[in-house]
Amino acid sequence: MPGMGLGPQTIGGFYPYLLGELAVVVAVVIAIMVGRSVWRAAPGMTRERTPEEPAGIPAAGSSRARLVLRRAIGSLWIVDGLLQAQPSMPNGFAANVLTASLHGQPWWMANVLTWEIYLWQAHPIPLAAATVLVQIGIGAMILAGGDGRVGRLGIWVSLGWGMVVWAGGEAMGGLLAPGATEMMGAPGAVLAYLASALLLLAPKEWWGSRRSQRVIRTGVGLLLLLGALIQAVPGEGFWRGPGLAAMFRAMAAVPQPAALASPIRHAAGLAAAWPIPLNLGLVVAMAGLGVGLLLGRASRAWSVAAMVWLAVTWWVGQDFGALGSRTATDPNLAPIVALLLVVAWINPAANSIPHRWRPARRIRGTEGAAVAGLVACVVAGATGLTALATRAATTAALTIGGPLVATGPVPLPSIRLIDQAGRPVELSHWSDREVVLTFLDPVSSGAAPIIAQQLVAVDRGLGRLRHRVEFVAVASNPVYRSLAVVRSFDAEQHLARVANWTFLTGSLAQLERFWSAFHLVMIVPSLGGVEQPQVIYFARPGGVEEWWAEDVAPSDNAAVNRSYITLIERQVRTILR
């Protein structure tokens, strides 16, 4: 489900970047509002005022139920945008949300998710900021735009964005993978957002009839029946102990007060001890509630029972949207479905707004807020497109070599080797710098020279920042590892002129200890060079390793080679922020 797992450390610069984008939005909005005021004040531009309804004021004939739904959905979009602005999102969304959705997906969905992971890893800050702006912008347009053109445009934008998020971000609510269950949020919260948007686009006359209530209750009933059907499928694994129990344990592991986690742990124990009775009870409960809502008799009683069920599942199954995980993206399915039942509870005939406009004090700032929402969506779209256009090269590197992987903070090993000048050195020697570490075969004519030249190009691109970075290579050939061989490699690649370049070697025992610290195995075949992983590690000042990436750029592909240079330089700059 969205939001599971703890996000890695924040990429430096996310909030400055986001604030910069917000400053652009504010500047554009101010310019629009000032320009509009000047236009209205110009001679000949003054028109006789008409009884036009102010932004944010319900239109004549609007149903109270529709008004409640519009305001609630607009507010939820803003909440989702704020959740997307959590500091762990730039790193954590790809690592914890998208990667967690990969398990068990069909090949085509796995390919889509993998591409998304690579894309997000290549542009984490711009895409995270764009997501924040889009979702807050949608909410502002729906809330402040009212029943006007901007408000309806916000609903249409939410439909388009919601379909993208449901298909890509939520992997269609997990329906294509084993283990999907309404208890944990399937078929996805965004699907409820989409249903709400379609309801808001319905004619106002439709909202004034009881048909709107029947349609909403029928939709919720069908959702619960679908949940019962999925829960009953033997292949989903819910009839065996590990199935539901593992999901409950995962929810209980999310950081939260003990009082909130305790019922979830009890549910996990119950699922492990009595899986068949528990799952049978879940199937019967969802099926019964679904049938009751579909039949339409005693509709309010069935609505109350369904809301109680949704409250229980939101706590025990969905853990309040896993908001304590620091990578939660929405409150999850249950509260949005409960909102729809509340909307269906409101009597449209008794609570509709009269078909005449009652003069009301204009809500100050709503017009500006609506325009701000629209501008935020435009700026977010421009941000995303710019990231794709100007930095698409890094995606090629990630697609071939795999995404950047967070290792966690891990101290670099304290193993003494010797540098190309013959001096004994440990990695702690550069504790005041960022360290970019790789393993090179000094007699290789393939990957090692390519990677060395990539690092030289990165050093050149860093400019004045280069004095804060040390590029370190460690000999990876168990046979050819002497100082003479290392110096020859440096001379051939013109590395002596790079002041912050170090090539380390040592005795076989020292090197094997060093390789083992990074879980690397070097294989020397009877013919050819050393077989080894081509990896690059990134460590913060203080000797703390946090990231690694695989570098497998082929020598005959200049575009991918440049892609790795861009990727490495971007990550170096990110850590230096």
Residue 62: predicted pLDDT: 62
Q: How many CB atoms lie within 10 A of CB 249?
A: 17
> Quick one: pLDDT at residue 561?
66
Domains of the chain, by residue range, sit at 14-46+56-354+363-391, 404-576
Alpha carbon 368 to its chain's center: 29
**CATH 3.30.70.270, applies to 404-576:** no
Average pLDDT (242-258) is 81
What is the distance between the alpha carbons of residues 473 and 518, in angstroms, rounded to a whole number? Answer: 13
- Min mean pLDDT across 222-231, 240-249, 439-448, 504-513 is at 240-249
Whether the predicted pLDDT of 173 surpasses 80: yes
Record the tokens describing residue 525, joined without a space.
């075949």
Q: Identify the band that residue 86 occupies on the pLDDT scale cut at 50, 70 and 90.
A: confident
pLDDT at 525: 63
Sequence-distant (≥ 6) Cβ neighbours of residue 294 within 8 angstroms: 217, 218, 221, 222, 225
**Is a pLDDT exceeding 60 seen at residue 391?**
no
Identify residue 464 by its one-letter amino acid code.
R
Contact 69, 384 (CB under 8 A): no
What is the per-residue pLDDT for 239? 87
Q: Which of the four pLDDT bands, split at 50, 70 and 90, describes residue 119? A: confident
Greater pLDDT, 405 or 26: 26
Q: CA-based angle 436:431:95, to the nearest 5?
A: 50
Q: How far is residue 256's CA from residue 18's CA, in Å, rounded to a whole number?
A: 28
Answer yes or no: is pLDDT of 553 > 70: no
Helix, strand, coil percentages for the chain (3-state, nearest 5): 60, 10, 30
Tokens of residue 150, six digits: 């901007």
pLDDT, tens digit, 9 for 90 and up, residues 467-476: 999 999 999 9
**pLDDT of 285 above 80:** yes
Over residues 124-143, mean pLDDT:
86
Q: What is d(CA 234, CA 247) in angstroms, rounded to the nearest whole number? A: 16
* Confidence at residue 383, expressed as pLDDT on a 0 to 100 scale: 59
Task: Report whether the peptide linkage leading into residue 257 is cis, meaning its omega lies within 30 degrees of zero.
Answer: no
Neighbours of 104 (CB within 10 A): 14
- In this prediction the pTM is 0.67
Distance CA 264, CA 245 (A): 10
Query: What is the SS3 string spanning 268-335?
Result: HHHHHHCHHHHHHHHHHHHHHHHHHHHHCCCHHHHHHHHHHHHHHHHHHHCHHHHHHHCCCCCCCHHH
Instruction: Flag whether pLDDT at 309 surpasses 90.
Output: yes
Split at pLDDT 50, 70, 90, the class of 40 is: low
Residues 504-538 have pLDDT tens digits of 999 999 999 999 888 888 877 655 567 777 888 88
Q: What is the largest CA-CA distance in the chain?
A: 92
